[in-house]
């Protein structure tokens, strides 16, 4: 064989190998994309969810009822819970151009419970078993205020991450909304 034939054979062999590697890369990309979509769907279907259920005026406090859902196969542990209200500002320019500032309500008391009709504040020594959430848990919150139409932000932190819910509280019963969608933020 002369040198030209060997050089042509090596170039054809290199071309065939590059086509084979391109085919493997395309198949691998499809597999990685499918794996990513499966992992994303699993994460979304097992993430915790916090929903506002209702409120009731009890003396000088508002008793709020929220439910924490845990659809995943791994139980969640409630680590903290916080209630925020909109910080009042009288400056109309600031309200127009700057984002809403949330102020934590330090006097808010919360306790997880299995008994949703409980009206008295629970203590950690009595209710610590209820921090463990297998499927769902009712969270009762007592805020020193009167029922109003202001907007509140509720934040719960678990070993699965955190979840926030913004809502106004009212004395009327909560109905299922006529239009409900769950949006996910892609990173």
Q: What is the pLDDT of residues 72-100, one digit of tens each?
A: 888 889 999 999 988 777 777 776 777 77
pLDDT band at 175 (very low <50, low <70, confident <90, very high): low
Round to whole Å and give the CA distance between 114 and 65.
Answer: 12
- The residue behind tokens 């020594």 is 125
Assess contact for 83 and 141: CB atoms under 8 A.
yes
Query: What is the per-residue pLDDT across 116-159, written as a single tens digit (0 to 9) for each?
Result: 787 777 788 888 888 988 889 999 999 988 888 788 999 999 98
Residue 76 dihedral angles phi and psi, to the nearest 5°: -105, 150
CA distances from 122 to 51, 105, 140, 186 (A): 20, 18, 9, 38
Q: Which residue has the higher pLDDT, 81 or 115?
A: 81
State the average pLDDT over residues 101-128: 85
Over residues 2-23, the pLDDT tens digits come to: 888 889 999 999 999 999 999 9
Tell me the C-alpha distance between 108 and 155, whole Å.
12
**Whole-structure pTM value:** 0.69
At 56, list the tokens: 């009731």
What the block records as the tokens of 155 is: 């934040």
| Residue 187 confidence (pLDDT) | 57
**Percentage of the chain with pLDDT > 70?**
88
């Amino acid at each position: 064989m002369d040198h030209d034939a060997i050089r042509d054979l090596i170039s054809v062999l290199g071309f065939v190998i590059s086509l084979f590697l391109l085919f493997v890369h395309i198949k691998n990309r499809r597999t990685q994309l499918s794996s990513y979509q499966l992992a994303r769907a699993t994460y979304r279907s097992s993430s915790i969810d916090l929903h506002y259920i209702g409120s009731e005026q009890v003396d000088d406090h508002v008793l709020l009822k929220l439910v924490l859902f845990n659809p995943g196969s791994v139980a969640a542990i409630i680590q903290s819970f916080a209630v925020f209200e909109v910080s009042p500002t009288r400056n109309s320019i600031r309200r127009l151009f700057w984002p809403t500032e949330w102020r934590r309500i330090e006097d808010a008391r919360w306790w997880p419970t299995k008994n949703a009709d409980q009206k008295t504040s629970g203590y950690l020594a009595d209710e610590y078993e209820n921090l463990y959430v297998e499927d769902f848990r009712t969270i009762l919150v007592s805020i020193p205020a009167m029922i109003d139409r202001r907007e509140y932000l509720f934040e719960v932190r678990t070993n699965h991450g955190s979840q926030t819910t913004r809502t106004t509280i009212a004395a009327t019963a909560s109905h299922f909304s006529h239009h409900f969608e769950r949006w996910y933020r892609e990173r």
